[in-house]
């Protein structure tokens, strides 16, 4: 006779012995009703008839189903310890504690079953008691909705879960997901420590296990991170170090999106060089940042001067086509606000949002020196400064 079966038979005997608490009585009755094929149904009806309505209402008012969620999460952690440990006495302690967590969820299911039988004998609960019952059922449903998709956590306990599942009546087994869900997925645990185990017939045929393996592979080998706006700008300005350039080249060789972005930058420069060459009466020639430095004396489509560099943002003074503007560019996906004042006490310039940040049109590049005031707020960084352009 198994240890689990002996435990349930002992609970049946206790119904006819010394008095138990209302909760223990309901759990014992439900255990028997849900395992009637193995245990029979002796002692169930007298035990339920002995429970009065006030007793049941008092029991409902004292329930704290939220604690069950914590119990199951702790059981999941302990089950992982069983899988990753070295066996022996310590692993047995983890196993026993984790199984007690699953048994706590099962006892709640037994209490619900017994409560249904009690109402069949005494009549349905009314008023506040009915509301307490509905809240209890809802809390259990929420726990199951949250944890059923994570049943793989309990796979290391499968030999013991199968034993518990098989003691339940067939009609009860699927509902008791804490004992039955993923109960045949033992090979998944083996694949955690032995890579060759991932080729087992079960893992190839089990859709849930395949999804778990794919999810684990994505974590072990995360997708390549796209080139940032800062890297693209530094590439465009020819400011990448050799190591940075090597990373950009390696990434763009695998990422079509970033390769297209770099190609667009190259094509833009080629068009500018061609236009400049035609103005100077010289034939245009394609150049590449990888092989050729910018021509001396040739004006780039825009000139940028770094006015300020902070952990959260950069500030550039940009001159292009006889116009000058201020660009406040956030770093690392930060959000920011900025304002530019040309005259004290007057309204600020209207910012123009763009892919690089906030841009402020300062007017024609006349070559004279004018002043303005800049205010920037980004995360924990704040900047107030005057600048000339």
Residue 295 lies in a domain: no
Our measurement of the distance from residue 179's CA atom to the centroid of its chain's CA atoms, rounded to an integer in Å, reads: 26
Considering the domain architecture, whether residues 216 and 142 belong to the same structural domain is answered as no
Number of domains in the chain: 4
The DSSP letter of residue 255 is -
Residue 297 lies in a domain: no
304: part of which helix (H) or strand (E)? Answer: strand 303-309
pLDDT of amino acid 269: 54
DSSP 34-99: TTHHHH--TTHHHHHHTS-HHHHHHHHHT--THHHHHHHHHHHHHHHHHHHS--HHHHHHHHHHHH
Residue 307 lies in a domain: yes
Question: Per-residue pLDDT tens for 254-290?
Answer: 676 787 777 677 655 555 555 545 544 544 433 334 4
pLDDT of amino acid 270: 52
Considering the domain architecture, whether residues 80 and 117 belong to the same structural domain is answered as yes
Query: CB–CB of 308/383 below 8 Å?
Result: yes
Task: Tell me which residue range forms the domain holding 367.
Answer: 303-388
Instruction: Flag whether the pTM goes above 0.85.
Output: no
pLDDT of amino acid 252: 75
3-state SS, residue 166:
helix
Considering the domain architecture, whether residues 322 and 365 belong to the same structural domain is answered as yes
Segments of the chain with pLDDT less than 50? 1, 219, 276, 279-280, 282-300
Considering the domain architecture, whether residues 49 and 174 belong to the same structural domain is answered as yes
């Amino acid at each position: 006779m198994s240890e689990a079966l002996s435990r349930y038979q002992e609970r049946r005997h206790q119904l006819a012995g010394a008095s138990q608490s209302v909760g223990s009585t309901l759990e014992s009755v439900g255990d028997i009703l849900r395992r009637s094929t193995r245990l029979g149904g002796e002692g169930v009806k007298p035990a339920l008839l002995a429970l009065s309505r006030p007793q049941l209402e008092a029991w409902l008012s004292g329930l704290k189903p939220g604690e069950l969620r914590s119990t199951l999460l702790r059981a999941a952690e302990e089950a992982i310890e069983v899988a990753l440990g070295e066996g022996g006495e310590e692993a047995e302690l983890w196993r026993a504690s984790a199984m007690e967590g699953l048994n706590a969820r099962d006892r709640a299911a037994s209490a619900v079953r017994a409560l249904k039988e009690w109402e069949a004998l005494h009549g349905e609960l009314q008023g506040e008691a009915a509301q307490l019952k509905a809240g209890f059922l809802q809390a259990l449903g929420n726990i199951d909705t949250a944890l059923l998709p994570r049943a793989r956590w309990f796979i290391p306990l499968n030999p013991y879960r199968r034993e518990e599942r098989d003691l339940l009546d067939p009609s009860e087994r699927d509902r008791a997901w804490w004992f039955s869900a993923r109960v045949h997925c033992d090979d998944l645990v083996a694949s955690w420590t032995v890579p060759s185990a991932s080729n087992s017939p079960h893992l190839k045929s089990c859709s849930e296990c395949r999804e778990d393996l794919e999810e684990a592979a994505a974590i072990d080998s995360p997708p390549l991170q796209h080139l940032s706006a800062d890297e693209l700008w530094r590439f465009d300005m020819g400011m990448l170090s050799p190591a940075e350039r090597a990373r950009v080249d390696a990434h763009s060789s695998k990422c079509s999106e970033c390769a297209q972005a770099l190609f667009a930058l190259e094509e833009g420069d080629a068009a500018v060089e061609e236009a400049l060459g035609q103005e100077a009466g010289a034939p245009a020639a394609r150049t590449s940042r990888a092989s050729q430095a910018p021509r001396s004396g040739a004006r780039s489509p825009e000139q940028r001067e770094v006015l300020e560099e902070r952990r959260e943002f950069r500030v550039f003074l940009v001159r292009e086509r006889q116009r000058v503007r201020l660009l406040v560019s956030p770093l690392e996906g930060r959000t920011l606000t900025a304002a530019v004042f040309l005259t004290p006490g007057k309204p600020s310039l209207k910012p123009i949002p763009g892919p690089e940040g906030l841009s402020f049109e300062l007017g024609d590049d006349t070559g004279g020196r004018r002043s303005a005031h800049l205010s920037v707020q980004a995360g924990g960084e704040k900047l107030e400064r005057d600048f000339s352009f």
